[in-house]
Chains A and B, each alone.
Chain A
Amino acid sequence: MAEGLLEIKDLDVGYKTYRGVTSVLYNLNLKVNRNETIGVIGESGCGKTTTMKTINQILPDNAVIKSGEVNFKGKDILNMTEKELVKLRRRNVSMIPQDPTASLNPLFKVKTQMKDVLKYSRQNSEDLDFKEETIKLFNSVALSDPERVYDSYPFQLSGGMRQRVCIAMSLAAPKDLLIADEPTTNLDVTIQDQVLRLIGEILEEMNFSAILVSQALGLVKKFVDKIYVVYGGTVIEIADTEKIFENPIHPYTKGLIESTPKLTGGGFSSGIAGQTPDYIDPPSGCRFHPRCPHHSEDCKTEKPKMREFEKNHYVACWRQ
């Protein structure tokens, strides 16, 4: 059994809204071993970002963690003091954001923001030449014209450059776990590929454990060892990367794979009918049952348990 770095157990998280407290994450279980890269896949609104933000505790103020455990190196993050959390963020967990434009402060130059990140995440940072270190980091993320970027405001950079700056920030200090939360969703298609390749190279070079979050299975296929498919705030299928493409079991996973547009033509894919659930009043039983073409009475009443389908392939579905 590989050594666990991060283990999320039965996590329930919701948000306070005017209509009541939502139930977004629902019995979510997830595990990352040392030096393992996992992919977390699902439509938007499935709780992927909520899960990631729970890991380093940067959820919005209206979030409510109802129950569960988030064990990092055997310690439950949910019971950590503020001081321990700050240490965790500085030394252990790094995050590449979803939207680089929204993630950089528009009123401060890149150098100011980089300096603060370096200052607090590096040990013995008093003697550090911040400019030199920043340029070094910029070179490692293949930013062209690092000197200009260093002295620019974020709005003077292109989307791809901003994301590279964010990646540079997340690499500012060596850490155990890198979380990339849909790092390419907000970028142009051509830039998407470059940024993904960069992240792939980083993962290969450095001994990170990583969570790669994406809406599309195909996008992360090359980089991850294992895939977690998430629907309605809970994991519905876990498998080694090849297995999930060869033999997807859950109807939702099948739908996701089929909805990838194919360059070879053949018209639009069928996709999955319906929408992600309403979290104020989520469907009973299996949260996917209203959209599932194969659902039975059992699906409406009871949440399916995760069961082993074959070696390293688990699925939560009543269907055999």
Chain B
Amino acid sequence: MDMKKYIGKRLFWAIISLFGLSLFIFYFGRIIPGDPIEMMVGPRTPDHVIENLRQSLALDRPLYIQYFIWLRNVFQGDLGFSIVTKRSVTTDVKTYLPRTLELITYAAAFQIVGSFLLGIFAGSNINKWQDHVIRIFSYIGVSIPAFVFAIIFQLTFAYQLGWFPVTGALTSGFAHPPEVTGFLGIDALLAGQFKTFINFVHHATLPAIALAIPGTAQVARMIRSGMITIKQKEYISMAKGFGLPERTIRFKYLLRPSIIPGVTVLGMQIAMMLGNAFLVEMVFRWPGFSRHAINAMLHSDLNTIVATVMIIGIMFAIINLVVDTIVAYIDPRIRYGGRS
């Protein structure tokens, strides 16, 4: 099958672009204004201390040397030292990233299910009331940022109605499960602590929905318009002309070509959640990575910035690879490299 070859090719280019990204971000991280050493130390630090610090962090060496030192360390799992948290960036990543990934995975699940249901429902009822209701939802969802939904949900469903916890990831009485994977939900399940798992999911629900809404709204619109476009294709009226039943046409011959643009954008939306999660994490005091990363940027914490960008880059690369594979599975013209 050409599929393997296709994925291999995509993977190769993903690695190349990540390598390029690392060069790019490392370089820009070093030329932005603001001396990281001066940020670290107080105003009255003696010059020789500053120089020593500069040397020990290799900041006095030429840029390309700094890059290779950094790259070597990255492959050894050492992302450098954070001047904000005063500990290894790797430790920070291990602490904060899993929380955010869990939140995003949960939000992505909402996004996939929600956008497909709404999109197909609207696309099957064009210009009927169902379509209008979904259209209004989509306009609201696209035009209001996720953190506003976060605040509204928190005030309504957590604070007023008390259906969900207001902040945090676990109620204070619950002990953290023994760390195996670093992912709270998975660790809780592995340890058989179902109550902890449920409690965690309960905490994550509101932030996940808030985070999912803008992307859901956008992708639902794309699936709807995809269905409208494909509906006008000659092959749909021919399928009708040959007497195929309505449901076979809609869910087989119409749906498959209609979702391709939606799937691509859905992937982008999921990858972008890593950045968008920041304010939502702030609102719900979610102990996640986005919150930590923004804090690092405000303090010119170079190593954390570089690590953050690389993580986002890797996220994009992985999700793009997955999306490309799915799209190639849906559309044979891409698999066979012959777009006609």
Contacts and interface: CB of A to CB of B under 8 A. Distances in A.
B2 to A, nearest CB: 12
Interface string A160-185: 00000010011010000000000000
A95 B238 contact: yes
Interface centre among A87, A120, A172 (most CB of B within 10 A): A120
A103 to B, nearest CB: 4
Interface size class of B (residues with CB under 8 A): 20 to 34
Interface in A133-164: 153, 155-156
Interface stretch (B54-62, B73-81, B240-248): B240-248
Given A60-B237, A97-B238, A102-B234, A117 B244 contact: yes
B336 A103 contact: no
A106 B238 contact: no
Contact of A107 (B241, B248, B332): B332
A169 B242 contact: yes
A153 B332 contact: yes
A82 B240 CA distance: 11
B240 A105 contact: no
Interface string B309-340: 00000000000000000000011110010111
B232 interface: yes
Interface in B65-123: none
Contacts of A60: 232, 237
Nearest to A112: B252
Given A53-B237, A60-B237, A121 B333 contact: no
Contacts of A309: none
Contacts of A82: 246
B239 interface: yes
B256 interface: yes
Nearest to B253: A105
A120 B331 CA distance: 25
B231 interface: yes
B165 to A, nearest CB: 45
A103 B236 CA distance: 8
Given A61-B231, A99-B234, A102-B234, A89 B332 contact: no
B235 to A, nearest CB: 5
Given A61-B231, A153-B336, A107 B242 contact: no
Given A60-B232, A116-B248, A120-B243, 7 more contacts: A95-B238, A95-B242, A106-B331, A106-B332, A106-B340, A153-B333, A156-B336
10 contacts: A61-B231, A90-B242, A91-B243, A97-B234, A103-B238, A105-B239, A108-B253, A117-B244, A155-B339, A170-B242
Interface of B: 231-235, 237-246, 248, 252-253, 256-257, 330-333, 336, 338-340
Interface of A: 53, 56, 58, 60-61, 82, 86-91, 95, 97-99, 101-108, 116-117, 120-121, 153, 155-156, 166, 169-170, 172
